[in-house]
């Protein structure tokens, strides 16, 4: 296992096996979580220990394959090349309440949503905990901007990489590391019901986002294959259980697709189905994906949909698009890069 995927007690055990005092464990942990690229940067460690660690536990930091900075809003998008040559995307968004990074959890994705660029080439592999942590650390180091919030909404399905994602959350939340509060973390899922139940058991204070995108199975089946395994009725039931277990209001994502899920009738049906489930809706005008015929809803359709939800008592915000000029959404940069380099 990469040292940076280890918790402090695990790493300390490794250090003790090397016949070093336990406090060295904390020193190494703290350096690693600052985003050093080499053990030689760990200036308060004895040279012998640095050399042994370098030999047995290479750090394998990601390299910047591409970096794009939005001229409009300062959003920065990184395409990282991992040590095995695979690439993943990370986006840094600058909000008034703090800098937020959107990280990837897998190389590719096997969920097959019709509107999403990340899934077009299928799943290549899942990310290790340190590879998720590195996206946060090296985005912070490279940009020089402190990161205070994390969203797991980049490439991949976080709950399809459950154990590694749970370990990543523990690492990034650790007081000896980045110490990012769970309340400043959002995890987005397309709706893997058994995993939502598993997550509920952990009672984390993070925000769960559910990509709903449709008021019923007929529409959801067309755009999200996962709905055939876990129909919307079961998904909403799992959301209710999640709320009961955690008392955390769920945030629902709803990508507005012209003529597919954006009618008044769709909004009314959605309202009915959400009865009694405390929720917040994020309405996202669809981002164009080159390979897909789907188009974003008109501004009027989005406004009408929002009003129906709000009048029915469900808070709904229309998501501001950041980084529109730099393809800052959902696997688009990775695909473009792959096309250009092969």
Residue keyed to tokens 């007929």: 218
Q: Does 103 bind ligand SAH (CB under 6 A)?
A: no
CB nearer to ligand SAH: give 5 or 189: 189
CB nearer to ligand SAH: give 39 or 254: 254
CB nearer to ligand SAH: give 288 or 337: 288
Give me the catalytic one of 87, 89, 128, 239.
Answer: 89
Q: Does 322 bind ligand SAH (CB under 6 A)?
A: no
Q: Is 102 a catalytic residue?
A: no
Q: Does 261 bind ligand SAH (CB under 6 A)?
A: no
Q: Does 255 bind ligand SAH (CB under 6 A)?
A: yes
Q: Does 135 bind ligand SAH (CB under 6 A)?
A: no
Residue numbers 176-235 binding ligand SAH by CB under 6 A: 188-190, 211
Q: Which of 115, 168, 243, 305 binds ligand SAH (CB under 6 A)?
A: 115
Least distance to ligand SAH, CB of residue 152, Å: 7
Q: Which of 28, 32, 204, 330 binds ligand SAH (CB under 6 A)?
A: 330
Q: How far apart are CA 109 and CA 324, in angstroms?
A: 22
Q: Does 253 bind ligand SAH (CB under 6 A)?
A: yes
Q: Does 289 bind ligand SAH (CB under 6 A)?
A: yes
Contact (Cβ atoms closer than 8 angstroms) between residue 128 and residue 163: no
The residues of the shown chain that bind ligand SAH, judged by CB under 6 A, are 111, 113, 115-116, 153, 157, 188-190, 211, 253, 255, 284, 286-287, 289, 330
Catalytic residues: 89, 330
């Amino acid at each position: 296992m990469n040292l940076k995927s280890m918790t402090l007690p695990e790493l300390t055990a490794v250090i003790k096996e090397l016949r070093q005092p336990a406090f060295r464990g904390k020193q190494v942990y703290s350096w690693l979580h600052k985003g050093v690229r080499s053990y030689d940067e760990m200036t308060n460690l004895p040279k012998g220990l640095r050399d042994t660690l370098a030999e047995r536990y290479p750090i394998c930091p990601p390299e910047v394959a591409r970096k794009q900075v939005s001229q409009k809003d300062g959003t920065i998008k990184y395409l990282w090349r991992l040590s095995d040559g695979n690439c993943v995307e990370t986006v840094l968004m600058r909000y008034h309440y703090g800098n937020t990074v959107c990280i990837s959890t897998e190389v590719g994705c096997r969920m097959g949503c019709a509107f999403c660029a990340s899934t077009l080439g299928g799943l290549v592999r899942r990310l290790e905990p340190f590879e998720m942590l590195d996206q946060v650390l090296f985005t912070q180091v490279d940009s020089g901007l402190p990161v205070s919030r994390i969203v797991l909404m980049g490439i991949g399905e976080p709950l399809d990489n459950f154990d590694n994602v749970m370990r990543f959350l523990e690492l990034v939340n650790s007081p000896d590391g980045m110490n990012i509060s769970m309340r400043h973390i959002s995890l987005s899922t397309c709706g893997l019901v058994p995993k939502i139940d598993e997550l509920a058991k952990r009672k984390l204070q993070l925000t769960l986002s559910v990509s709903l995108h449709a008021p019923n199975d007929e529409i959801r089946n067309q755009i999200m294959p996962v709905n055939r395994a876990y129909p919307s009725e079961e998904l909403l039931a799992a959301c209710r259980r999640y709320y009961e277990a955690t008392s955390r209001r769920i945030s629902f994502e709803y990508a507005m697709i012209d003529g597919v899920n954006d009618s008044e009738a769709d909004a009314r049906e959605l309202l009915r189905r959400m009865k009694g489930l405390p929720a917040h809706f994020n309405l996202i005008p669809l981002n164009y994906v080159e390979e897909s015929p789907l188009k974003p809803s008109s501004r009027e359709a989005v406004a009408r949909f929002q009003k129906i939800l709000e009048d029915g008592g469900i808070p709904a915000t229309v998501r501001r698009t950041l980084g529109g000029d730099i393809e800052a959404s959902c696997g688009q940069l990775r695909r473009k890069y792959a096309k250009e380099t092969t």
